[in-house]
């Protein structure tokens, strides 16, 4: 659910790159194993054992997310009984659109004058009678990723058996994109913010970083007002229950990726009796605090880079040397060089500095299909042109070629800073934490450590805290984890599946962020079977 560059606490890249990954050409996958698995799978699982212990370390002390009363409160009845008006006007071909009202503040719905609008899109299935299973709500993560965009992808790219059985539905969560969005900075201000040095080497650079974070926070407060205090994951989960009712579904069927797993698990915790088929792919561990999430995610990116480096050095075009050790050393040297002497790019006013270059590298870690693009961009950078890495950074930030930013970063910050207290509140705290981050990730740890300050100047106090989600009484829930996931480490999926009373873990021994519809026929078959029948795979299933 985080932006590695700032507001780090789980995975923002999923908001755009999960969709990109889903569009990549699937590669044939070896057969799966159950139980102990193949040697490779067993080795991968073993390598995460210590991380798993760390990931679950705070579980015992964390409070439990308790379910809400099953009866709908009287002051919310008007939201649950509103009539949706679906139209094809203004929607992409084949889709229907609508808007729905929800209270800004569920604790005080008031007269409705503060209601906010949420945008929803759907494509109806061709299934009839018993073949029609209702609606499948999807969310790509972020927080801040557009569920509408993801639904439009899913409704044309998910397997036909799923599209025939379900209406595919996407609702941009509160604060996101088409749904009463959080806004913070102008496009030009975002360009400056994205290029701010996140590995400060002096007091002046630390002050510049603090000032950038403060400017961002003040911009959000000025442009977003009261909305800024009401974009938590709990509130977004409550919105999903209103939508479930308005769609006419007794239970919620849902597929969430990355941060979308936290949103889906939160729904299950609040409304366990209304859980239908829930797939949580690329899972988060809700029992961790911001420091634990950030430092463990740093380790995830390190693991992903090591996998990239091992592949790169086998290629004749690798610009990082002939061994994985050389690759890491060379990458550090490039970062240091760009810090002192930014590279020119095809955009004269936007040189590539260390911050943008680091973001570009991390952007490609989410999907191994991007590795050739990263190799080419690094070769170009070694030759003195940073355009390729700048393009990868822009993809991360959802910046268009015309310089327009989506509200991904604004929504990401607003949700993260409301859900958890900051990982650090002063530069001195960051300096104390640096050894932990650098141990987890020699190449990216410093950036993630300083990103932990991002919520320190936030104008709204956090309303959330680390907690466990047992969701007692919920139907079986399928959690999917990838052993070398860069953004949501495999240990998090293990921890979430263990927390959920009805959770089953499906593992994929592979690279990249999330697993469903990313090339593994084994994963896809098990997820599809679950969505269609509710039957989970055998305990200990590891797809290879």
> Active-site residue among 485, 511, 524, 526?
485
Residue with tokens 């769609």: 247
- Look up residue 539 and give its DSSP letter: T
The answer to whether 468 touches 287, Cβ cutoff 8 Å, is: yes
Q: Is 33 a known active-site residue?
A: no
For the beta carbon of residue 475, count every other beta carbon within 10 angstroms. Answer: 16
Which one, of 501, 71, 96, 34, lies nearest residue 278 by Cα? 501
Catalytic residue among 339, 457, 513, 520: 513
- What order of strands is seen across the sheet that includes strand 477-484? 96-102, 116-123, 167-171, 135-139, 252-257, 275-281, 477-484, 503-511, 542-543
**Kind of pairing, strands 135-139 and 167-171?**
parallel
Residue 117 is among the residues annotated as catalytic for this protein: no
Say if residues 173 and 205 touch (Cβ distance below 8 Å).
no
Q: What gap in Å lies between CA 515 and CA 130, rounded to an integer?
A: 29
Q: Respond yes or no: is residue 485 known to be catalytic.
A: yes
Q: Which of 258, 393, 441, 507 does the annotation list as catalytic? A: 258
Q: Are strands 116-123 and 96-102 parallel, antiparallel or unpaired?
A: antiparallel
Q: How far apart are CA 505 and CA 380, in angstroms?
A: 41
Identify any residues that bridge with 167 across adjacent strands, giving them in sequence order.
135
Exposure on the CB side of residue 504, measured as CA atoms within 13 A: 22
Q: Annotated catalytic sites, by residue? A: 258, 485, 513
């Amino acid at each position: 659910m985080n932006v590695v560059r700032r507001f780090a606490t789980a995975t923002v890249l999923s908001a755009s790159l999960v969709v990109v990954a889903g569009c990549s050409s699937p590669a044939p996958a070896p057969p799966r194993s159950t139980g102990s698995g193949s040697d490779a799978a067993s080795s991968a699982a073993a390598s995460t054992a210590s991380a798993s212990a760390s990931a679950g370390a705070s579980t015992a002390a964390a409070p439990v997310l308790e379910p809400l009363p099953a009866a709908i409160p009287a002051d919310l009845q008007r939201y649950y009984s509103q009539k949706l008006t679906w139209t094809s006007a203004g929607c992409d071909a084949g889709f229907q659109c609508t808007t729905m009202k929800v209270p800004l503040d569920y604790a005080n719905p008031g007269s409705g004058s503060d209601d906010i609008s949420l945008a929803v899109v759907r494509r109806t299935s061709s299934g009839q009678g018993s073949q029609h299973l209702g609606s499948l709500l999807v969310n790509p993560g972020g927080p801040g990723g557009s569920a509408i965009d993801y639904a439009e992808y899913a409704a044309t790219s998910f397997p036909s058996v799923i599209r025939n059985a379900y209406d595919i539905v996407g609702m941009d969560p509160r604060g996101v994109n088409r749904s009463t969005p959080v806004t913070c900075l102008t496009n030009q201000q975002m360009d400056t913010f994205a290029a701010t040095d996140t590995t400060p080497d002096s007091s002046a650079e630390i002050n510049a970083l603090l000032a950038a974070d403060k400017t961002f926070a003040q911009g959000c407060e000025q442009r977003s007002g009261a909305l800024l205090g009401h974009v938590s994951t709990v509130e977004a989960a409550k919105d999903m229950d209103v939508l479930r009712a308005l769609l006419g579904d007794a239970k919620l069927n849902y597929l969430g990726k990355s941060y979308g797993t936290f949103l889906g698990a939160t729904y299950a915790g609040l409304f366990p009796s209304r859980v239908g088929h829930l797939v949580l792919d690329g899972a988060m561990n809700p029992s961790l605090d911001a420091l634990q999430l950030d430092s463990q995610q740093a380790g995830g990116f390190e693991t992903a880079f090591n996998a990239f480096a091992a592949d790169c050095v086998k290629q004749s075009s690798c610009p990082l040397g002939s061994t994985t050790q050389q690759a890491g050393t060379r990458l550090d040297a490039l970062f240091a060089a760009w810090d002192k002497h930014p590279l020119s790019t095809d955009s004269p006013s936007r040189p590539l500095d260390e911050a943008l270059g680091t973001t570009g590298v991390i952007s490609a870690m989410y999907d191994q299909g991007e590795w050739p693009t990263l190799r080419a961009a690094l070769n170009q950078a070694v030759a003195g042109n940073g355009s390729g890495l700048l393009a990868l950074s822009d993809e991360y930030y959802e910046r268009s070629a015309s310089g327009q930013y989506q509200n991904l970063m604004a929504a990401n910050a607003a949700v993260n800073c409301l859900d958890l207290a900051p990982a650090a509140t002063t530069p001195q705290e960051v300096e104390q934490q640096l050894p932990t981050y650098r141990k987890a990730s020699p190449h990216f740890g410093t950036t993630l450590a300083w990103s932990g300050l991002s919520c320190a100047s936030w104008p709204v106090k956090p309303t959330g805290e680390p907690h466990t989600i047992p969701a007692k009484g919920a139907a079986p829930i399928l959690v999917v984890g990838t052993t070398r996931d860069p953004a949501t480490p495999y240990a998090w999926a293990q921890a979430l599946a263990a927390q959920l009373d009805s959770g089953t873990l499906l593992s994929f021994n592979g690279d990249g962020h999330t697993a469903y519809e990313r090339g593994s026929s084994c994963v896809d078959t098990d997820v599809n079977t679950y969505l269609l029948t509710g039957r989970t795979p055998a305990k200990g299933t590891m797809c290879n």
